[in-house]
A and B are shown apart, each in its own frame.
Chain A
Amino acid sequence: MSIAASSAEPALELIGIHKAFTGVKALSDVALRLYPGEVHTLMGQNGAGKSTLIKVLTGVYAPDSGHILLRGKAIAPRSTLDAQECGISTVYQEVNLCPNLSVAENIFIGRYPRKWGGFGPIDWQRMAVDATQLLARLDLHIDVQRPLSAYPLAIQQMVAISRALSVSARVLILDEPTSSLDEAEVQLLFKVLRSLRDQGMAILFVTHFLDQTYEISDRITVLRNGVREGEYAASALSRLELVNKMVGVPVDASAAGQALAEHAEITPAAPAGEVFLQARGLGRKGALAPQDFSLRSGEVFGLCGLLGSGRTELARLLFGADRADSGAIGIKGQNVRLSTPRDAIAAGIGFCSEDRKKEGAILELSVRENIILALQARNGLLHVIPRKQQQQIATNYVKWLGIKTPDIDTPIGSLSGGNQQKALLARWLATAPDMLILDEPTRGIDVRAKQEIMDFVMALCRKGMAILFISSEIPEVLRCSDRMLVLRDRQAGGEFVRGQLDETSVLQVIAGEAA
């Protein structure tokens, strides 16, 4: 049982933490209380500020203002090592240990016990004995002399935890530790966490899995857009409420929202065109359970779901970025194989990835080169687009989409996120696709650019393009989509047509409470 939280002194307390990056607020006035003997889950969508908060806690970033109190004493960790010495240890999603060293060495790396009062050679025997004892505390009985890589990931994670414990941590932070574990391994980890909690450890757990949150948490803190939504006892917060808090339901429609709503009224559900793409049993092991769906020309098909629900995976399968291991895709009634992005482009599909920096922009190339890249790739190496024509294409799209850039030969990396996104949209529009996949096209860009991009999407759709629209902002998907597919834990939660769902019912489907 957890120790009564309110009576004890917090092991760790954050007060009024502010952190901004070049003017963008990542955290504003965030507070967090972590008590000994509790598992406290930090929840929030991508970009909510979870990682930033963890990095402030572990000394990677210094907060702009605010206090970190460890057992009532203010600390200001300047590095992870510093934080560790204060008693805050962190275990990351990717185990950052040395796989080719032994388990014992990993636990004591940098602090090897030595003979002769600390000055002699390494005391291997003591190290092995101490490591075995530490692991026994986690009810783990393994050969500590074997290399770490000999054990599955879950065990490696335990080793990381016991390493954290061996520096006598009072606070243990687990940053998405379960993302790469299977169900049995998660249970093993949770068993250890519970036992540590009962020994009085304060545990901060970061995850985006709802089931796990409810299974292990005593309390939950929800972050949204860098602001703390609230702190709740896990038992007093329903799943629906939690998803609501994470996603944020606008109390009243903002100006931008209203404009879009009006927009939507002028253009009622477009007359459904012919089926452009038909997927039958499309799936990939470990990424997406087999799905059936179809996209029509001139309609926006929305994909909804939390991070890791399979929405991006589905988009990548359609674009040939990943290979499907089951199912078939038909385009305009013909079966096609989309095993590389080139195949998909040839079939008339464009794909704006959710990760603009890694999978979209070629940062050091100019706006012009970025815009014509996909078209040039489709034309092939030999049919080079003449410079004049390149300039024409780029200039036109800069004008049409309102891309703010000094000129078309400026490196795209020096543009703001919204303008980069518009240029990438232009890259695909230049190929005149029949279908466009937009994966989080509005993430991390300002409200104005967001609306401009959404306006453009609607206009494209009216011109007969099929659009697959993915966003974690549910109101946005609801507003734009003619039909939508809700995904949950890599499974279909259901397919709906416009007007059939409202925000609450979508949240219910996502949360797994039958609609």
Chain B
Amino acid sequence: MNPNLLSDHEDGKLAASAHLRWQRLSRLLRAPLLRPLAALAVLLLIDFLMIPGFFHIELKEGHLYGSLIDIVNRAAPLMLAALGMTLVIATRGIDISVGAVVAISGTVAAMLIGGTMVMHDGVPTYASNIPMGWALAAAMGAALLCGAWNGLLVAGLGLQPIIATLILMVAGRGLAQLLTDGQIITVYYKPFFFLGGGYLLGLPFSLFIVAGMFVVLALLMRKTALGLFIQSVGINPVASRLAGIRTAALIFFVYCFCSVCAGMAGLMISANIKSADANNAGLLLELDAILAVTLGGTSLAGGKFSLVGSVIGALIIQALTYTIYSLGVPPEVNMVVKSVVVFLVCLSQSPEFRNLVHSVKRVPSS
């Protein structure tokens, strides 16, 4: 046997396996969720190094406590809003009325629940104006109505999404302020607070709401053709209509869905602060939601989308806020630092920028 031949053969095998490994690695590097995950990891690493006891989680009175739990809990409304926003953006749309819907649903719920504490034989019991279930349903109904309005303007009248939802962005918060006379409405009804600050199985209840919504969406994507149709409409609405997809109905649906998500976020926020603040509740939440979707790797140009990515994006934003506060960065600098980080993450997602980096790298080597 020719020894050279053998070694050649071995070399070839080695090279092939190296090639395979490289292929696997490069496929991993191109995985769409890698960048948002990496960004989150870097943030957490900084927290680990700079904030003592950051990863410490302890069990107190059957509740889990710790910075991580705190971040996840506070990110819950944003995660909900981002989930809804993902579908809207996937159809090439945008919904900037999210914050206004948060204010509306919170206000409706708070006004209908109101609540008083009465002493019965020395035991405090709580009474709401109307049963809480009805109040929550009314709040969600109001949110759905908002979504239907947006959907009608975009899908029915063909308005540009940013303009169509701008109307509600302005009018919605104004409406909520009218309802409350510009006052903060305080809720005195303990069961309501559970939505924002309760615990179940040791974990914040808000997480279960988000998880529930995520599971519903994931099932919709798997068990129905919704995901395919949304992507198709987002990439090419004309061709989708010609293929027989009800594009208008689909677009109407995503705006309704987005508002329902925002409405739930509104309930969470107002339960958390035990009141409805029509002026400030959910202020600029739409921008954070859009940001979360973008950070998660869903393009504003529509089409392919990632629900997991948007959830990670929301976590990045909340972790960033937490980090900035924990590091003792003065509040004045807060916004600037946030924008710089966001800029860096978005830059890393820009194909133009990546090409630029690649070409700069290639020049010296050739």
Residues of A within 8 A of B (CB): 319, 321, 340-342, 345, 351, 353, 358-365, 369, 373-374, 376-382, 384-385, 427
Contact = CB atoms under 8 A, between A and B. Distances in A.
Interface of B: 223-226, 228-229, 231-232, 235-236, 238-246, 303-304
Nearest to B304: A364
B245 to A, nearest CB: 5
In this complex, the member of B232, B238, B243 whose beta carbon has the largest number of chain A beta carbons within 10 angstroms is B243
A358 B235 CA distance: 10
Contacts of B245: 373, 377
A365 B232 contact: yes
Contact of A373 (B224, B228, B303): B228
B236 A342 contact: no
9 contacts: A321-B241, A341-B241, A362-B231, A362-B239, A364-B231, A369-B228, A369-B232, A380-B225, A385-B225
Contacts of B235: 362-365
Contacts of A342: 244, 246
Contacts of A376: 225, 228-229
B351 to A, nearest CB: 14
A382 B219 CA distance: 11
A385 B229 CA distance: 13
A227 B109 CA distance: 72
A384 B243 contact: no
A319 B226 contact: no
Contacts of A379: 225
A146 B48 CA distance: 66
Contacts of B239: 353, 358-362
Contact of B229 (A345, A359, A381, A427): A381
Shortest Cβ-Cβ A-B pairs, 5 listed: A377-B244, A345-B244, A374-B243, A377-B245, A373-B243
A384 B223 contact: yes
Contact of B225 (A321, A359, A362, A381): A381
A442 to B, nearest CB: 19
A358 B228 contact: no
Q: A321, A380, A384, A385 — which one has the most chain B CB atoms within 10 A of its CB? A: A384
B236 A363 contact: yes
Contact of A384 (B225, B232, B240): B225
Counting chain A CB atoms within 10 Å of each CB, the highest count among B225, B244, B303 belongs to: B244
B142 to A, nearest CB: 26
A378 B223 CA distance: 16
B224 A381 contact: yes
A340 B240 CA distance: 12
A350 to B, nearest CB: 10
Contacts of B229: 376-377, 381
A362 B303 CA distance: 10
Contacts of A341: 241-244
A378 B235 CA distance: 19
Given A353-B242, A359-B239, 17 more contacts: A340-B241, A341-B241, A342-B246, A353-B239, A359-B238, A360-B239, A362-B236, A363-B236, A369-B231, A373-B240, A377-B229, A380-B225, A384-B223, A384-B224, A384-B225, A385-B225, A427-B243
A365 to B, nearest CB: 6
A382 B225 CA distance: 7
B96 to A, nearest CB: 26
Nearest to A382: B224
A382 B224 CA distance: 5
A384 B224 CA distance: 5
A500 B188 CA distance: 88
Contacts of B231: 362, 364-365, 369
A362 B240 contact: yes
Contacts of B243: 341, 373-374, 377, 427
A158 B224 CA distance: 55
B242 A381 contact: no
A364 B303 contact: yes
Contacts of A378: 244
Contacts of B242: 319, 321, 341, 351, 353, 359-360
A41 B264 CA distance: 65
Contacts of A345: 244
A43 to B, nearest CB: 30
Nearest to B246: A342
A374 B228 CA distance: 11
A155 to B, nearest CB: 29
Among B231, B239, B245, max chain A CB count under 10 A is at B239
Given A376-B225, A381-B226, A382-B224, A362 B232 contact: yes
A351 B231 CA distance: 21
Contacts of A319: 242
Nearest to B229: A381
A374 B229 CA distance: 10
A441 to B, nearest CB: 15
A376 B225 CA distance: 7
Contacts of A377: 225, 229, 243-246
Contacts of A373: 228, 232, 240, 243, 245
B108 to A, nearest CB: 30
A358 B238 contact: yes
Contacts of A384: 223-225
A319 B244 CA distance: 10
A358 B242 CA distance: 11
Contacts of A359: 238-239, 242
B303 to A, nearest CB: 5
B104 to A, nearest CB: 28
A434 B226 CA distance: 27
A387 to B, nearest CB: 9
Contacts of B241: 321, 340-341
Contacts of A427: 243
A386 to B, nearest CB: 10
Nearest to B222: A384
A361 B244 CA distance: 13
B158 to A, nearest CB: 16
A373 B304 CA distance: 16
